[in-house]
Amino acid sequence: MSEQRRIGVYICHCGGNISDFVDVAAVRDAVGDEADVVVAETALFACSDGTQKDMEQAIRDQNLDGLVVASCSPKLHLFTFRGVARRAGLNPFEYSHVNVREQDSWAHGDDTAAATEKAISLVRAGIARTRLSEPLDVLTVETTPKALVIGAGIAGLRAAIGLADVGLGVYLIEREAELGGWVGTLGAMFPADRDGREMIASLVAEVRKRPSIIVLTRAELISKSGSFGNYVAEIRVRTDGEAGQVIRAEVGSIIVATGTDSYQPEAGEFGYGIDGVLTLPEFTRLVDSAEGPLTRNGRPVRTIAYIYCVGNRQPGGNEYCSKFCCTAAVHDSVKVSRLDPSVHQYHLHRDIRTYGKYELLYTESRERGSVYLKFADDAPPSVALGPDGRLTVTTTDTLTPGAELAIPADLVVLVTGMVARQNDALKSILKVPVGSDGFFNEIHPKLRPVETMVDGVLVAGACQGPKTSAEAVASGLTAVTQTAAILKKGVAELDPLVAAVDPAACTWCGVCAQTCPYEAIASVAADGKQIAVISATTCKGCGGCAPLCPADAIDLRGYTDAQITSMIDGMAREPVG
Amino acid sequence: MPEGDDGAWSPRILVFSTNNISDPGIDLAGSRHLHYPPGVRVISVPCSSGIRPSWIMHAFRAGFDGVFVASDGEECALLPDCAGRSAKITADAQEQMRPAGLEPGRLKMAALCSVCAEPFVNYMREFSASLTELGPVSMATAS
């Protein structure tokens, strides 16, 4: 491409974040004489409304066909300046972003001459890239106005109702025979003592009222194909005595709400395995089933010791805090006290994390007589059977120095947290990134809290990480809003920076098709030969096929061979001259 | 040829990073004002499996003294076998470097996560030091 371009270049001061370390005027002077550059300016804040308007004016007045802004990281303002281009009638993909803050001024504040030299070479690379850019159209695909919700716990049920109420069709699939998940097994829950089973029953009744929700129990996702807006999901439904039935569902998006498991202690971990040592869910079931003062195996329970943070906040193990378990255990102790105020309850903890208004429950439990004893992180309590056959918990209270306490107890409750569900089959079908803790990863916990790296596959509830039921419902509703935003328009916009084949160079060896895990590449007949063709809507834009093509016939748009090599040349040039 | 503060030669390093994984880690190093040698230049691509060995060779021809591939490793959301693909790309580049008279130590690869600010800074300091020992790049064969 040798025709003359008309490129505008802006170098941002970022107040002083850049210009305190980079001589922005020297950068402007150095790149102002570059071929094809017709505007070169500095700006105090390139992202300010005023400067954005100035840029739009320059694009129109100077008839610019390319734009380069050297400023902060593209994570902050790539879309801002693409928007400037678009508003001024310039194709947004003629814009190149150059990062001279995070990757220059802030990293080289100890050497301003070298930082300026680096900025010049980075801007030259940006100009080189835009010189070879071409206008691209955002890809649009028609979308199917239906969603698949995987998991009918509280998050999935609430999401299904929400989706139906915004006019989307829903497949709600549940692996178990019953709907309701964890919450469906619970009695009175914190903070307002609402009964989990009743809450689930009312949600299930709401689901049944909505004919646009198809509920499948004993059903699992066995394959997913297609792409964002038009997925095809195959669902196997188990039936007694038969191989089961496979149902094919066409959906625009998928909400994963597969929930969580409770940590299961090892035998011997804090005495687990000894009669009378229970996990938090086991204890909660015992309390919820009690109709009077607590008994176990026919004997009254007079003393309970709780040990917190079992299986969580463990270096080398589950390092995270499950954050619901403190409040759940404190709430259980309040329920026990309501059944029989004379029960002695000792809470052995590292910290109590009854956050927000749950603090009131902590206060109530103390007013009801619960005793809280803090142990050191490196000195956890131990549990043993005493000579009298009673359980004894031994701990050192950090607030009474040197005081080792031996607490005889009828029950020891191991306050266990949440762990990620083992579900490798589902994970490999969905291809949603999973963190080192085993939970599904959203793109950003605050900015994009239910979206994943796989377009159109959303996550909600405790499959993302430990959540209270209220938090699980909130994320389920967030997923509804996000799904509505992408499916109610009827068309989806996709980034066009995907791989493309040069038909003249392609000899159809099939290497690219074999290497693409998304099955985006197929062979077609064209001009008397077979060539590869890449589906722009299925391609993820990784570019992994390009280096493998023996004929060098594949380029990734926005990162073409010509663009990258010219960027390298632009960066490598001597700073002056 | 670039010169440092004291007028001595300092190496130029081209880093290939990735938009969603290693680039945020490199950004974080800057956000925390961690200093590393200013001879480092970064080109970011969607996935380290898309880097061409020819780009690495082109960088040496253009005058870069070292190339560092900050790969996605096991965290790649795009390709499950990204680590193996990226390793093959650098191995192929090494094959092309040998006949060109380029020392293997001029090309390094390491997985860099989105919060790996300190590891990146350490890699750059160590790489710059080892390239300083190797001296400026020179190609045995004309390009």
Helix (H, G, I), strand (E, B) or coil at A345: strand
Question: Measured in Å, how far apart are chain B's first and last C-alpha atoms?
Answer: 19
**Among the listed residues A277, A285, A286, A287, the one whose alpha carbon sits nearest the alpha carbon of residue A310:** A277
Residue B1's pLDDT band (cuts 50, 70, 90) = very low
The CATH number of whichever domain residue A62 belongs to comes to 3.40.50
**Residue matched to tokens 């029953």:** A201
Same domain for A210 and A336 = no
Residue A526 maps to a domain: yes
Residue A518 maps to a domain: yes
Same domain for A326 and A283 = yes
Instruction: Give yes or no for residue B109 having a pLDDT over 90.
Output: yes
Residue of B nearest to A442 (CA): B77
Name the β-bridge partners of A493.
Answer: A140
Same domain for A295 and A201 = no
Residue A219 maps to a domain: yes
Same domain for A370 and A388 = yes
Find chain B residues with C-beta within 8 A of A544's C-beta. Answer: 47, 49-50, 78-79, 82, 85
Question: Would you call B117 an interface residue with chain A, using a CB distance cutoff of 8 Å?
Answer: no
Same domain for A193 and A288 = no
Q: Give mean pLDDT, residues A138-147.
A: 92
C-alpha to C-alpha distance for A56 and A90, rounded to whole angstroms: 9
Adjacency order of strands within the sheet including A95-99: A37-43, A7-12, A66-71, A95-99
Residue A570 maps to a domain: no
User: Is A42:A67 a contact under the CB 8 Å cutoff?
Assistant: no
Give A117's contacts (C-beta < 8 A, 6+ positions apart).
Answer: A575, B2, B38
**What is A160-179 written as a DSSP string?**
HHHHHHTT-EEEEEESSSSS
**Among the listed residues A154, A384, A428, A429, the one whose alpha carbon sits nearest the alpha carbon of residue A277:** A384
Summary mean pLDDT of chain A: 94
Residue B6's pLDDT band (cuts 50, 70, 90) = low
Summary mean pLDDT of chain B: 90
Find chain A residues with C-beta within 8 A of B4's C-beta. Answer: 111, 114
Find chain A residues with C-beta within 8 A of B43's C-beta. Answer: 125, 564, 567-568, 571
Find chain B residues with C-beta within 8 A of A569's C-beta. Answer: 62
Work out how many domains chain A is built from and give that number: 4
In order of their start, the domains of chain B are 13-134 (3.40.50)
Q: Give mean pLDDT, residues A124-142.
A: 94
Same domain for A237 and A295 = no
Instruction: Give yes or no for residue A2 having a pLDDT over 60.
Output: no
Q: Give mean pLDDT, residues A558-572.
A: 96
Find chain A residues with C-beta within 8 A of B19's C-beta. Answer: 74
Task: Tell me the two tokens of residue A318.
Answer: 């589950």
The DSSP H or E segment spanning B132 is helix B117-134
Question: Would you call B136 an interface residue with chain A, using a CB distance cutoff of 8 Å?
Answer: no
Q: pLDDT tens digit string along A163-197?
A: 999 999 999 999 999 999 999 999 999 999 999 99
Instruction: Give yes or no for residue A44 having a pLDDT over 80.
Output: yes
Instruction: Give yes or no for residue A242 having a pLDDT over 80.
Output: no
Mutate to test the interface with A, among B3, B43, B48, B120 (most CBs of A within 10 A): B43
In Å, what is the CA distance from A472 to each residue of A253, A258, A451? 19, 11, 15
Name the β-bridge partners of A98.
Answer: A70
Same domain for A275 and A249 = no
Give the closest of B20, B53, B63 to A572, CB-based. B63
The CATH number of whichever domain residue A533 belongs to comes to 3.30.70.20
Same domain for A486 and A394 = no
Q: Give mean pLDDT, residues B109-130.
A: 94
**Among the listed residues A34, A21, A22, the one whose alpha carbon sits nearest the alpha carbon of residue A9:** A34
Question: Which of the listed residues A392, A413, A434 is the one where a domain comes to its end?
Answer: A413
Question: Which of the listed residues A413, A440, A475 is the one where a domain comes to its end?
Answer: A413
Q: pLDDT tens digit string along A421-435?
A: 999 899 888 877 777
Residue of A nearest to B17 (CA): A103
The range of the structural domain enclosing residue A191 comes to: 146-259+421-491
Task: Tell me the two tokens of residue B38.
Answer: 């200013």
Please identify among residues 13-42 of chain B the ones whose CB lies closer than 8 Å to any CB of chain A: 14, 19-20, 23-24, 26-31, 33-36, 38-39, 41-42
Return the amino acid letter for A272: Y
Q: pLDDT tens digit string along A191-214?
A: 999 999 999 999 999 999 999 999
Mutate to test the interface with B, among A552, A564, A567 (most CBs of B within 10 A): A564
Return the number of other C-beta atoms located less than 10 Å from residue B5's C-beta. 10
CB neighbour class for A466 (10 Å; exposed up to 12, middle 13-18, buried from 19): buried
Q: What is the pLDDT of residue A195?
A: 97
Residue of B nearest to A564 (CA): B55
Instruction: Give yes or no for residue B5 having a pLDDT over 90.
Output: no
Q: What is the pLDDT of residue A176?
A: 96
Residue A571 maps to a domain: no
**Among the listed residues A151, A222, A152, the one whose alpha carbon sits nearest the alpha carbon of residue A429:** A222
> Do you find a cis peptide bond into A191, omega within 30 degrees of 0?
yes
Residue B142's pLDDT band (cuts 50, 70, 90) = very low
Percentage of residues in chain A having pLDDT higher than 70: 99
Same domain for A388 and A278 = yes
Q: pLDDT tens digit string along A317-326?
A: 899 999 999 9
Residues B50, A544: C-beta atoms closer than 8 Å: yes
Instruction: Give yes or no for residue A17 having a pLDDT over 50.
Output: yes
Same domain for A41 and A72 = yes
CB neighbour class for B48 (10 Å; exposed up to 12, middle 13-18, buried from 19): buried
Residue A181 maps to a domain: yes
Find chain B residues with C-beta within 8 A of A18's C-beta. Answer: none
Question: Which of the listed residues A443, A473, A491 is the one where a domain comes to its end?
Answer: A491
Instruction: Give yes or no for residue B45 having a pLDDT over 60.
Output: yes
Return the amino acid letter for A39: V
Give the closest of B5, B19, B79 to A111, CB-based. B5
Residue B143's pLDDT band (cuts 50, 70, 90) = very low
Same domain for A282 and A408 = yes
Residues B38, A572: C-beta atoms closer than 8 Å: no
The CATH number of whichever domain residue A275 belongs to comes to 3.50.50.60
Give the closest of B38, B47, B54 to A544, CB-based. B47
Same domain for A169 and A87 = no
Q: pLDDT tens digit string along A112-125?
A: 999 999 999 999 99
Residue A569 maps to a domain: no
Instruction: Give yes or no for residue A383 having a pLDDT over 90.
Output: yes
Segment among A247-256, A438-447, A513-522 with least mean pLDDT:
A438-447
Residue A326 maps to a domain: yes
